[in-house]
Amino acid sequence: MPARGIIIAAPASGSGKTTLTLGLLRLLARDGVAVGSAKVGPDYIDPAFHAAASGRPCYNLDSWAMRPASLGALAARAARNAEILVCEGVMGLFDGAFVPAGQPDGSSADLAAMTGWPVVLVIDGRGMTGSAAAVLSGFARLRPDIRIKGVIFNRVAGERHKAAIANACARYCPEVRLLGFLPAQTSLAMPSRHLGLVQAAERADLQDFLDAAAILVAEHLDVGALVELAEPSRLGGGGSSPALIAPLGQCMAVASDTAFAFAYPALLESWRAAGAELSLFSPLADECPAPDCDAVYLPGGYPELHAGLLAGNDGFLGGLRRAAQRGAILYGECGGYMVLGRGLEDAEGKRHAMAGLLGLETSFARRRLHLGYRRAALCADGVLGTAKDGFRGHEFHYASILAEEGAPLFAIADAGGTPLGIAGLVAGNVAGSFVHLIDRS
């Protein structure tokens, strides 16, 4: 029987749903419950925290970027061998891409409607008493195809504050179960940087943080009642890995460290399921791709924070050049794309030489936000497939392009289909772009 699922969502980003989700995952896992997790949308950072809290891989579920078969298979994979699946939402419950009416927009609400998983809403209670019930009632009744079954109020000041909110909710929205109140906890604030939270692997205090979050959840929430609200998914799909994007080769070297951490577990699993052998290497440790690999994948991450170190790692950069010379496919996304270029300008404006395999110059000193879902169609046959092949993915970076010289890789459009021009570069067996690919179109 598939695991029962629940979605932890909120009216807006910053309401506290990530800390609550992590505390719940750690508490259930610590108590011997087989708990799986998922994250709505394309985020790379939160899933690593989930995995640390639960001891199991966390899978992204994206109603806009994934085909229905992929979404169903990954939801089933996340729930496999679990008693309950906890899925953390993205942004506010109804926040998604701007698309034509009736099309999936990637929001938490869309996933709730597709799966049938009930929603537990986390509301920041600061500065509200009776108005908290109005927020809850409005969210609970906006879309009849989703069900908000529980509510948690965060950053509540004290007993009188709790009583006022509880009375208003009982009067105006009695059908939603009140699961508890969390006090403001500055000690559990999660540090962030330009692309979101500081990565889980970079936090020396991670285990202490997760344990403290679990204690907070245990002391202030009715966890048993929350677990009772979960229900099985309505999505079809088996537990096998879906074929997201074809492997780049038979023996693939994958960059993996804190500078190149943005690789989806589901994508790597799908490559292994398709018969590819993956070997991991650390560019920060000056490791080079396996000498017998026929493909190299450089995922995104934070190479701009380590540009000086990477520029001096001759073993790594030389290994990339040798792989390209012997005909191996090299493909980089976002940060990986920047490293395949000629040079990278750091936050202080100092240029660092990179691999020089693509005609790309980028700057992190001249920052500008690029954010959104992307439709990507190959401009010509090449390392990722044929010109008829299309993909869906997302773009999220602050780097500016100073020069992008050569043949383009993709013609791209936004989520609604508005053309955005060309993106990326391809030079023979080397290619890359700022788009993080999620699934085929």
User: Tokens 């010289």 map to which residue?
Assistant: 405
Q: How far is CA 170 from CA 137, 146, 244, in A?
A: 11, 20, 46
**Helix 159-172 / helix 131-142 crossing angle, nearest 10 deg:** 40
Contact present, 334 and 397 (Cβ < 8 Å): yes
Active site residues: 334
For residue 78, give Cα distances in angstroms to 22, 50, 57, 282: 16, 12, 8, 27
The HSE-up count of residue 347 (CA atoms within 13 Å, CB side) is 7
